[in-house]
Amino acid sequence: GLKRLHLGNCVLSMNYQEMRNEFLEIKGYVQAEDGNLDKRILKSSEALQDTKPTERCCFFRHLLRFYLDRVFKNYQTTNHHIRRKVSSLANSFLGIKKELRLCHDHMICHCGEEAKKKYTQILSHFEELDAQTAVVKALGELDILLRWIEKT
Amino acid sequence: DAAAILPAPLDLSVHSINMKHILTWSPVIVPGKIVNYSVEYQGEYERYYTSSTWIPSSWCSSISTPECNVTDDITATVAYNFRVRATLGNQSSAWSTLKELFNRNSTILTSPRMKMSKDGYHLIVEFEDLGPYFEFNVTYWRKSPNSQVLYKIVREGGSLVHLETMEAGAEYCVKAQTIVEVIERSSAFNQVECVIAQDESPLL
Amino acid sequence: MNNILRWNSPEGLGGAGVVYTVQYLIYGQKKWLNKSECRNMNITSCDLSCETYDYEEQYYGRVKAIWGKDCSKWVETERFNPWSETQIGPPVVALTPGEKSISVILTAPEKWKINPEDTSVSMHQIYPSLKYNVSIYNTKANKKWYKFVTNHTLELPQLESNTLYCVSVQSYVLGPLRNSKPSEKQCITTLKDQTSELKVK
């Protein structure tokens, strides 16, 4: 059930399996809304697990904030089941972000060049698309982020 | 106006045992009429990021009993709020909300029911199936001087799991507790149970 | 990771004279790519294992039907994620009976190979948390029980001699149920009890 995530000196546990189950419930629906198959926001070149350990915490914090502030918040659907699952994922992300705050408070969540550069890249992929298209694509790519987390 | 006539439900509270969460409230009584209720919820995310939006509960839109299984709505370890309103025909009451927010990490964890059995010298254990969140931490030892205490994690309930290969005539004792990783808590241990392995089979 | 694209033939044509063409796309890349062996063919499946060999990528497949001079529009699959969607087969199970014991040797299932001579990649390497759920059925006592193991050898001691036991093993990876198929049930009889044999003589 719980996954220990090692982000340099910051170690946190997250309900990884539960989040994967929740994503599997929306995967077909959300990915079907994404018509731009030739575009990708979370590219392998920016993978979390390939980031310098000392900067993973900061990069991951950026990613969490990105999803909380720009993806979950702006995803619109009339489907109640999908909305509940997105809410569940958003609240799980919020729980992780609160845990990550402790690492930040203990000064073990250092932001360096690599974290900033990778996050800027992801943001530019996101902003190349129009708003709602980008939100749908980012939500549909959550399994890529979950796979990064699994490998970290 | 019409909404004010119908009183709002009172005494909302969540009763949670073994990660099963039930929202209850005091019924609104209108003699000779059936009052229906609708339940909505919000997690911490909704309160802080989406200006307090509410989400219809999975199973309780227009129900007539004053309780709702909200287990499927609470799938993160953050503080949740619920609101309920009564409806009668085209009248709707005001919404009532929880006095205290609910977090699933406050659920009551009971010690697990356990069944022991033997297949010859093999000690078998079976736990009640409490759902996908539950694992079982089994502690067992042979009842003899300076015997070692052993541990085993049983991943799911509802199936017969091999615990130990016993020695002829020896007595083995077992106790167990549930573990719920997503809230990082475990139950109390259950009652210790002991079994005695059969003696060596007599030679003909 | 043997990934086969399958589809049903179009309704109303009875399948006669209809041929199909398949393409695939690596998610995030520009071009749809042809699968040469699956051009104008009349069967309704196409093996894309080679094209989807990198399980860290995600893919789409699409098919169109051609009937004489007419052809249908492309029909696409959902996004396919080999790593999280592949089914994990059972291990190879070898049983050796002892007088009152059975030794079980498990060989992890292997990843699909492009060429049979290629070195094998064990699914254990891809899924480090791969475990096995071994079920043991004592036919005489009519009792079945399970044992969760992570390594590849298992000794079942203190069994009843001269008794038929049946064993089946299922691969298990933490995460959404992958309903992996258990191995074929294998039954074996433990040897007769030598000591009581001697006594009787």
Summarised one tens digit per residue, pLDDT across range C99-138 is: 899 999 999 999 998 888 889 999 989 998 899 999 999 9
pLDDT of B16 above 90:
yes
The phi, psi pair for B47, rounded to 5°, reads -70, -35
Give pLDDT, residue C13: 73
Residue C146 sits at the chain A interface (C-beta within 8 Å): no
Give the type of residue at C19: V
Instruction: State the average pLDDT for chain C.
Output: 90
d(CA C81, nearest CA chain A) in Å: 9
User: Which chain B residues are within 8 Å of A2, Cβ to Cβ?
Assistant: 181-182, 184
Q: What is the DSSP string of B27-43?
A: PPP-TT---EEEEEEE-
CA–CA separation, B142 and C92 (whole Å):
35
Give pLDDT, residue C198: 53
Give pLDDT, residue A149: 94
Residue C183 DSSP label: P
A135 vs B200, which has greater pLDDT? Answer: A135
> pLDDT tier at C201 (50, 70, 90 boundaries)?
very low
Of the listed ranges A28-32, B177-181, C68-72, C165-169, the least confidently predicted one is C68-72
Torsional sign, CA A18, A22, A25, A28: negative
For chain C, give the percent of residues with pLDDT over 70: 93
Give the type of residue at A25: E
Residue-wise pLDDT for A28-71, tens only, equals: 999 999 999 999 999 999 999 999 999 999 999 999 999 999 99
Residue A76 sits at the chain B interface (C-beta within 8 Å): no
pLDDT of B1 above 80:
no
> B45 and A18: CB-CB below 8 Å?
no
Collapse the DSSP code of C62 into the 3-class scheme (helix H, G, I; strand E, B; otherwise coil) and give the result: strand
Average pLDDT over residues C71-76: 95
Following CA atoms A96, A101, A107, A113 in sequence, which dihedral angle do they give, to the nearest 10 degrees? 70
CA–CA separation, B112 and B92 (whole Å):
43
> pLDDT tier at B201 (50, 70, 90 boundaries)?
low
Residue-wise pLDDT for B119-169, tens only, equals: 999 999 999 999 999 999 999 999 998 899 999 999 989 999 999 999 999
Give pLDDT, residue C176: 58
Residue A69 DSSP label: I
CA–CA separation, C27 and C6 (whole Å):
19
Give pLDDT, residue C195: 66
Query: Between A16-32 and A131-140, two packed helices, what is the crossing angle to 10 degrees?
Result: 140
pLDDT of B17 above 90:
yes
> pLDDT tier at B186 (50, 70, 90 boundaries)?
very high
CA–CA separation, B74 and B41 (whole Å):
9
A9-13, A24-28, B142-146, range with greatest mean pLDDT: A24-28
> pLDDT tier at C15 (50, 70, 90 boundaries)?
low
Give pLDDT, residue B2: 47
The two structure tokens encoding residue C74: 């492309």
Nearest one of A26, A129, A151 to C28, comparing CA atoms:
A129
pLDDT of C17 above 90:
no
> pLDDT tier at B5 (50, 70, 90 boundaries)?
confident
Give pLDDT, residue B203: 46
List B residues 144-183 in contact with C (Cβ-Cβ < 8 A).
Answer: 154-155, 159-162, 165-166
Residue-wise pLDDT for A88-116, tens only, equals: 999 999 999 999 999 989 989 999 999 99
Beta bridge partners of B197: none
Of the listed ranges A35-44, A118-127, C79-88, C167-176, the least confidently predicted one is C167-176
C180 vs A28, which has greater pLDDT? Answer: A28
Instruction: State the average pLDDT for chain A.
Output: 95
User: Which chain C residues are within 8 Å of B122, Cβ to Cβ?
Assistant: 145, 158
Q: How long, in residues, is chain B?
A: 204
User: Which chain C residues are within 8 Å of A28, Cβ to Cβ?
Assistant: 78
Label residue C151 left, alpha or beta by phi (over 0 means left) and psi (-120 to 50 means alpha). beta
Nearest one of B128, B132, B143 to B193, comparing CA atoms:
B143
CA–CA separation, B161 and C17 (whole Å):
55
For chain C, give the percent of residues with pLDDT over 90: 73
CA distances from A144 to A44, A115, A125, C5, C196 (A): 9, 18, 15, 22, 62
Following CA atoms B66, B71, B75, B76 in sequence, which dihedral angle do they give, to the nearest 10 degrees? 60
A113 class by beta-carbon count within 10 Å (0-12 exposed, 13-18 middle, 19+ buried): exposed
A132, C68 Cβ separation under 8 angstroms: no
CA–CA separation, C148 and B193 (whole Å):
22
Of the listed ranges A1-10, C52-61, C65-74, the least confidently predicted one is A1-10
Give pLDDT, residue C192: 85
b/e A24-59 (16+ beta carbons within 10 angstroms → b): bbbbebbbebbeebebbbbeeebbbeebeebbbbbb
Radius of gyration, alpha carbons of chain A? 15
Residue B50 sits at the chain A interface (C-beta within 8 Å): yes
User: Which chain A residues are within 8 Å of B77, Cβ to Cβ?
Assistant: 15, 92, 95
d(CA B51, nearest CA chain C) in Å: 33
Question: Which among A15, A73, A82, A99 is the top mutation candidate for probing chain B, defined by the most B β-carbons within 10 Å of its own β-carbon?
Answer: A15
Label residue C17 left, alpha or beta by phi (over 0 means left) and psi (-120 to 50 means alpha). left
Torsional sign, CA A46, A47, A50, A54: positive
For chain B, give the percent of residues with pLDDT over 70: 96
Of the listed ranges B2-16, B29-43, B94-108, the least confidently predicted one is B2-16
Collapse the DSSP code of B169 into the 3-class scheme (helix H, G, I; strand E, B; otherwise coil) and give the result: coil
B61 class by beta-carbon count within 10 Å (0-12 exposed, 13-18 middle, 19+ buried): middle
